[in-house]
Structure 1
């Protein structure tokens, strides 16, 4: 009965979330269904398992949600995201429409801009450059997914994406875990995605297919359906995009990209230079939670980088931010609902992991052939696919199995940095299934449907990511983390 309860709870969570129900309600309700089938006390499951799991995640990662959303909103209101996208698309020209959109998305997201901020700015520009090149509009979502949701999110070392931060407290790693393997994975993802886009464009050109006919009306940022899918999928409440105060004109390219450079530089310096040299022995005291530097170094690095980037952004674009208070309030507010939504998924995972029947699931995962790297990749893939959320699936997997993998890594002499990179890349593969909130919202923004565009999303988002994951596991097994 306990195993049946886990299956029913997952079905309830996935099915109703796909129909637009709030995860804030679904996760505790599904957790209680699983607890009831497992014969566990319901109130104790809610207060002693669900809430500590959710609160623990919030305590660790809320600074990153807050600073990331704030930085993204200020980049948007200052006109910097638009300036970067416009410059890159103009420089590459209409003949390279797809690579221009991929590059623009990669620059802004690797620099720390939230995914949905990038979507709402990049889609109109992508439409313009695809129309000028007479490139099929149906390829636009694939180009945007490749640039924003693959190698910059899971593979490039130092990425400030929340997915790259989640494994750090579990494995004692930094955002630059296994940088060589991360770069290798990024090359596989980017090369594979661009190869497919080039092939698809060539095939369309031979068939005489142009930009396309009448577009569907794109939803507004505050549309309730878009908002619900966005907060489950990523780290920004799209309703706040309509608030704040946007700049009247875009800045120059160098001024626009400077805050992104600050984020990258500070993240690198904190991870590799500053934090390894400080005396953090005070963290072992009870008043600081009895922690070690490895428990907090990764979060400190990303938080410091986003804070420094925000400060640089305000200093550079002070005159453009016509109502700084309103913009900052909107950015702060944009972090709350996504953070709580992921916390709710984490609480659900904590209840599931505490059920006696979960032992069957754990043993089945750990007994997969190929060792801990293969089983970790499978666990993150499956949970990200079920939840439609890379961050949610990754956190559930690590909350339930993280300590087990740390023990297995020590027993098999596997570098925790390799576990980190495999877990992150694994979370960003099958999360891009048709019910993923980012996919559904992006298709609506582009005026496309699943039937015409989702196949190309699979070929640039899922296939190269799975290939990159296989390469990292194979190379990491032979050569270790580097």
Structure 2
């Protein structure tokens, strides 16, 4: 019965996410309903003492990253920099390489700090135009965007400022640059296999006589104006700045502060002590995003000034929604981890003898259930984070390797049909799950396979 309660809570949360209900509401409902069935008198204390404590702790740590990332992405959009980058990559690679062009553009934007959702809106008009020119079926666009935006630049490439690469830093005392060689080789694996698959799909569709308009065309974008775009080198500069600043700050913050930052003010009862090891990854990304934001404001003020008031409101709303969604799932994980039924689930997961495989399976499973990479990872780390660390330490596995595997696993099976990014890309492109999800799922399988490729690579070569 106790196991059934835990599984029912997870199933309810998955169903609610799939049906489009707010996770901010449904995560506490699912968690507290499970508590109600086990111990009715514990509902209120668990809500205040466990759910809200965990949720607020997550917001304290990560909301600034969500907010700064959303503002940066909105400024990239308002300034026209995103369109300039897309147009430039088309010229550099060639319009006939439509699939590779869109993958590269999505990768540049997301690795540069632009959110996955902003990248979808920025890239789609260009993707539609390129696919139409080359008579590539429109239904392949979501799979191409998924490869470029939802895979290796989200969590495999070292230094990526996406939240899936930031969350593990506070649990494992690592930085966003953890296991750089392992991450780069794994990213190359995902890119090569993914592009080969998508080009095979393109040839198969063309051989069957399919063209761009093979099927109803919905949400067709307007023609793209390429005559009044910012200089592409100027446009790509803030993306480069974020990467460079993140790298430098990651190394310099420990030099500036040492092991801990101690602040003592007259009004404080006791000094404020912050362990630098636990925040260096977050501070470095925040500082890098701030530098990127300031650069855009300085270089494109005339363009963005008329729209920045409304744009900033949209960015704040998006950041609050994304941040609270994940925080609510983190609170859900904290509550579920206390229930007796979860001990059975935990024992089953812990029974996997290999620490890295254990972490990968646990995180990927929960990401698939919740339909969220950051949400599934948050639940897994809230419930099993200490076990992952202990198992890795016992096996002599560096925390950097554990970070990279956990991060990559979060972006494995997360893109099941109920995933928010999947629903968004299908809505934007005017396509359905039936038309385009098989290709997204293929990228999901490739990304999941890459996690175990990385594990095998580590054990056979010791690559970190």
Does the pair score TM above 0.5? yes
Higher mean alpha-carbon deviation, 203-212 vs 425-434, is at 203-212
> For residues 150-206 of structure 1, what are the alpha-carbon distances to aligned partners after superposition, in whole Å with 9 as ceiling and x for unaligned?
010011110000000010000000000000000011011000100011111122222
Task: Tell whether 2:349 aligns with 1:365.
Answer: yes
1:262 equivalent in structure 2: 241
- Distance of 1:68 and 1:398 partners within structure 2: 23
Task: Tell whether 2:366 aligns with 1:401.
Answer: no
- Distance of 1:114 and 1:304 partners within structure 2: 17
SS in structure 2 opposite 1:71?
helix
1:25 equivalent in structure 2: 25
Q: Report if aligned partners of 2:413, 2:445 keep a CA contact under 8 Å in 1.
A: no
Task: Tell whether 2:36 aligns with 1:36.
Answer: yes
Gaps of 5+ in 1: 221-247
Q: Report if aligned partners of 1:142, 1:456 keep a CA contact under 8 Å in 2.
A: yes
Q: Report if aligned partners of 1:2, 1:39 keep a CA contact under 8 Å in 2.
A: no
Gaps of 5+ in 2: 222-226, 264-268
- Distance of 1:6 and 1:301 partners within structure 2: 37
Q: Report if aligned partners of 1:219, 1:445 keep a CA contact under 8 Å in 2.
A: no
Q: Report if aligned partners of 1:282, 1:288 keep a CA contact under 8 Å in 2.
A: no
CA gap of 1:47–1:289, structure 2 versus 1, over 3 A, is: farther
How do 1:182-261 residues align onto structure 2 when only pairs under 5 Å count?
A: 182-213=183-214, 215-218=216-219, 249-261=228-240
CA gap of 1:102–1:281, structure 2 versus 1, over 3 A, is: closer
Q: CA RMSD, aligned part only?
A: 2.0
> For residues 232-271 of structure 1, what are the alpha-carbon distances to aligned partners after superposition, in whole Å with 9 as ceiling and x for unaligned?
xxxxxxxxxxxxxxxx943110111111111011001111
Q: Name segments (4+ residues, structure 1) moved above 6 Å.
A: none
Higher mean alpha-carbon deviation, 141-150 vs 280-289, is at 280-289
For normalisation by structure 1, the TM-score amounts to: 0.90
Q: Report if aligned partners of 1:78, 1:321 keep a CA contact under 8 Å in 2.
A: yes
CA gap of 1:287–1:26, structure 2 versus 1, over 3 A, is: farther
Among 408, 425, 428, the residue aligned to 1:442: 425
Higher mean alpha-carbon deviation, 413-422 vs 83-92, is at 83-92
Task: Tell whether 2:50 aligns with 1:49.
Answer: yes
- Distance of 1:255 and 1:57 partners within structure 2: 35
For normalisation by structure 2, the TM-score amounts to: 0.93
Deviation at 1:287, TM superposition (A): 5.5
- Distance of 1:455 and 1:382 partners within structure 2: 19
CA gap of 1:289–1:471, structure 2 versus 1, over 3 A, is: farther
- Distance of 2:17 and 2:451 partners within structure 1: 27
Q: Report if aligned partners of 2:138, 2:212 keep a CA contact under 8 Å in 1.
A: yes
1:242 equivalent in structure 2: none
Among 247, 255, 258, the residue aligned to 1:280: 258
> For residues 9-34 of structure 1, what are the alpha-carbon distances to aligned partners after superposition, in whole Å with 9 as ceiling and x for unaligned?
11111112211111111011101111
1:385 equivalent in structure 2: 368
Aligned residue-pair number: 453
Q: Report if aligned partners of 1:5, 1:36 keep a CA contact under 8 Å in 2.
A: no
Q: Report if aligned partners of 2:67, 2:316 keep a CA contact under 8 Å in 1.
A: yes
